């Protein structure tokens, strides 16, 4: 804390010089760090109000002035409750004091808020050392950065453990010339023979076979068409890899079989099993896929029905229809042959609508006009 400023006149001048424009609420950064944004903004505008009343010579004897809550909200945007909380906090800090006076306005008693500013305390707060606050903020973000880095490192460790464990299921492949080999996950471009851990490989292979047999038994017991059962028996590895319970497939089939049919359900299931990850689980993904399939099928059927019901217009019927609708011949790019053809059709089907131009064309063509 710096030494208290003793001369009130100097403290007042320092604080008032800080405010230079009525169009904006000026905010001191040091005060922001010390008392927060709401207090700082409200204090800044309160000081400006003091300056306005002082210039008009309308300050109270004790240097206070009135500023009603409505006008304060118009100037700052702060509600009544926010004003009350902020002023109460600043009173505790010794920066100002608020009190109410009763006035009789138009026959009604009205309470008006008055504010008295303590300029020495405000000036002292403005210029007090805030190095500790700045260091505290920096340390807070340094700690946050360290925590984020620790979190990233733990995430990487979990990913590596998950990757290594996934090799138990997917890291073994059959090579025609060298027998069983294992992928070296530290360098995907290299392959190493699996001679040293043949016993480990054998143990894992036995566990996998046992799991396969368990899933196969579940598939065989499903109450669904044999074509789907046979399909699932060929996809045992996918069911295990994606953690799909065969019973879920039976439940979905029983729900949608009447809408899709066996073949269509199997087609959707085949597409879904090609996906390598289900964010919300297999059942949700399969349900969404079935609904999407039914929606698209319905749209396609509607389009097919629309095309089937639409009559096919021949060249002759098109011209006749256009003539019946009273379409002007000038709206077409007629050739001599086209004009003759149109005149013949009109003479045959609508002789009463023949124009002088139509008759001229027919006579030039050697046609008889009745």
Instruction: For 29-43, write each residue's pLDDT tens digit.
Output: 889 999 999 999 999
pLDDT band at 47 (very low <50, low <70, confident <90, very high): very high
Highest mean pLDDT among 4-13, 185-194, 215-224, 306-315: 215-224
Residue 348, pLDDT score: 79
190-199 residue pLDDT tens: 444 444 455 5
Which residues, at least 6 apart from 310, have a Cβ–Cβ distance to it below 8 Å? none
Mean pLDDT within 322-326: 51
Exposed, middle or buried, 239 (CB in 10 Å: 0-12/13-18/19+)? buried
- In the chain, domain spans: 8-129, 203-309, 315-364
Bridge partners (DSSP) listed for residue 181: 173, 193
Residue 64, pLDDT score: 94
Pair of tokens at residue 225: 């068409």
pLDDT band at 275 (very low <50, low <70, confident <90, very high): confident
pLDDT band at 161 (very low <50, low <70, confident <90, very high): low
pLDDT of 28 strictly over 50: yes
More confident: 250 or 168: 250
Residue 259, pLDDT score: 86
Bridge partners (DSSP) listed for residue 174: 180
Phi and psi of 359, rounded to 5°? -60, -40
Mean pLDDT within 3-12: 60
139-158 residue pLDDT tens: 999 999 988 888 888 877 77
Mean pLDDT within 205-212: 50
Residue 90, pLDDT score: 96
pLDDT band at 177 (very low <50, low <70, confident <90, very high): very low
Tokens 């290299």 label which residue?
Answer: 190
* Nearest CA among 349, 84, 350, 345 for reference residue 361: 345
The CATH number of the structural domain formed by 8-129 is 1.10.10
Average confidence score pLDDT of the chain: 77
Residue 311, pLDDT score: 55
Mean pLDDT within 80-98: 95
Mean pLDDT within 262-289: 88
Lowest mean pLDDT among 126-130, 158-162, 363-367: 158-162
Residue 120, pLDDT score: 94
More confident: 363 or 125: 125
Residue 162, pLDDT score: 58
């Amino acid at each position: 804390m710096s030494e208290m400023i003793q001369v009130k006149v100097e403290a007042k001048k320092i604080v008032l010089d800080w405010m230079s424009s009525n169009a904006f609420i000026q905010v001191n950064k040091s005060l922001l760090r010390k008392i927060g944004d709401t207090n700082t903004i409200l204090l800044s505008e309160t000081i400006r109000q003091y300056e306005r009343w002082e210039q008009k010579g309308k300050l109270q004897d004790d240097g206070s002035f009135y500023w009603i809550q409505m006008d304060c909200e118009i100037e700052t945007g702060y509600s009544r409750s926010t004003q009350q909380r902020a002023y109460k906090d600043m009173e505790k800090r010794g920066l100002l004091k608020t009190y109410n006076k009763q006035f009789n306005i138009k026959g009604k008693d009205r309470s008006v808020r008055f504010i008295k500013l303590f300029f020495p305390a405000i000036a002292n707060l403005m210029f007090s050392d805030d190095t500790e606050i700045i260091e505290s903020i920096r340390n807070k973000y340094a700690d946050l950065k360290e925590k984020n880095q620790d979190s990233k490192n733990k995430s990487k460790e979990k990913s590596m453990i998950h990757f290594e464990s996934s090799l138990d299921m997917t890291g073994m492949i059959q090579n025609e010339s060298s027998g069983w080999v294992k992928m070296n996950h530290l360098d995907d471009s290299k392959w190493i023979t699996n001679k040293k851990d043949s016993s480990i490989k054998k143990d894992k292979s036995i566990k996998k076979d046992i799991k396969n047999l368990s899933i196969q038994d579940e598939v065989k017991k499903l109450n669904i068409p044999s074509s789907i059962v046979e399909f699932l028996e060929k996809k045992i590895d996918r069911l295990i890899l994606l953690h799909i319970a065969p019973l879920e497939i039976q439940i979905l089939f029983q729900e949608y079989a009447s809408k899709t049919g066996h073949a269509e359900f199997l087609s959707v299931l085949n597409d879904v099993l090609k996906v390598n990850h289900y964010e919300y689980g297999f059942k949700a993904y399969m349900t969404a896929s079935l609904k999407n399939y039914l929606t698209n099928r319905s749209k396609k059927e509607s389009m097919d029905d629309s095309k089937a019901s639409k009559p096919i217009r021949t060249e002759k019927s098109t011209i006749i229809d256009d003539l019946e609708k009273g379409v002007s011949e000038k709206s077409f790019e007629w050739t001599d042959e086209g004009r003759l053809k149109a005149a013949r059709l009109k003479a045959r089907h609508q002789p009463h609508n023949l124009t002088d131009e139509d008759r001229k064309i027919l006579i030039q063509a050697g046609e008889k006009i009745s």
